[in-house]
Amino acid sequence: MALEQDRRIAEVVERERSRLLGFIRRRVPDPRDAEDVLQDVFSALVEANRLLMPIEHVTGWLFRVARNRITDLFRKKKPESFSEAAGEESDELVRLEDMLPSPDAGPEALYARNVLLDELELALDELPEEQREVFVAHELEGRTFREMAAETGVSVNTLLSRKRYAVLHLRERLQAVYDEYAKG
């Protein structure tokens, strides 16, 4: 019986690994963090199996656990500010964390937060590549403008400008989605 369960878990892992990892990597910029989340998800599957928890739709369950682990990962990390471009505050810019509902405000807020994070991903895909790269590098990877300038040969002012345009687009794009959930 235990061998049969182990075989089924191994089949699920083999079948779902690449798709699940792709899902996680689209949401988690650091490949090491993405691998950690993936391992946590499969560890939860083994634990659920060990505790004889009934899982009717394994694939859906895995993706739900992955989404929760990603949320936990972002909750642990210090939120980066949209407005901290080169340490200057601007009334025009807004903090990402301020736009997202608190993950501690219950399941509906957590769902809204996840929807907004998905919308952020879509909005990032709409940006010109140069703007997206600067935004992701600074906001999600925590890299400084000086580091990016040294690597790319692009001036800090140009990088700041690209990020500013990205932030303005993202703010406009996500505000409507946020307003929709704030009303509800």
- Other CB atoms within a 10 A radius of the CB of residue 118 amount to 14
| CATH number, domain 2-76 | 1.10.1740
Mean pLDDT of the chain: 77
Q: How confident is the model over 161-173, as a mean pLDDT?
A: 87
Q: How confident is the model over 130-159, as a mean pLDDT?
A: 88
- Among the listed ranges 55-69, 95-109, 111-125, which one has the minimum average pLDDT value? 95-109
Domain ranges in the chain with CATH number 1.10.10.10 = 85-183
- Other CB atoms within a 10 A radius of the CB of residue 156 amount to 14
Report the C-alpha gap between 45 and 40 in whole angstroms: 9
Nearest Cα neighbor of 133 from 148, 119, 155 is 148
Query: For 81-103, what is each residue's pLDDT tens digit?
Result: 444 433 443 333 344 555 566 66
pLDDT at 56 over 90: no
Q: What is the pLDDT of residue 42?
A: 85
Q: Tell me the pTM.
A: 0.44
Q: Are 112 and 181 in contact (CB under 8 A)?
A: yes
Domain ranges in the chain with CATH number 1.10.1740 = 2-76
Q: What is the pLDDT of residue 110?
A: 74
Query: For 21-46, what is each residue's pLDDT tens digit?
Result: 888 888 888 888 889 999 998 888 88
List of residues 6+ apart from 136 with CB closer than 8 A: 29, 124
Report the C-alpha gap between 154 and 97 in whole angstroms: 28
Candidates 1.10.10.10, 2.60.40.10, 1.20.810.10, 3.40.50.150; CATH matching 85-183: 1.10.10.10
Q: What is the DSSP letter of 136?
A: I
Q: Which residue has the higher pLDDT, 4 or 2?
A: 4
List of residues 6+ apart from 140 with CB closer than 8 A: 29, 80
Q: Residue 69 region, left (φ>0) first, then alpha (ψ -120 to 50), else beta?
A: alpha
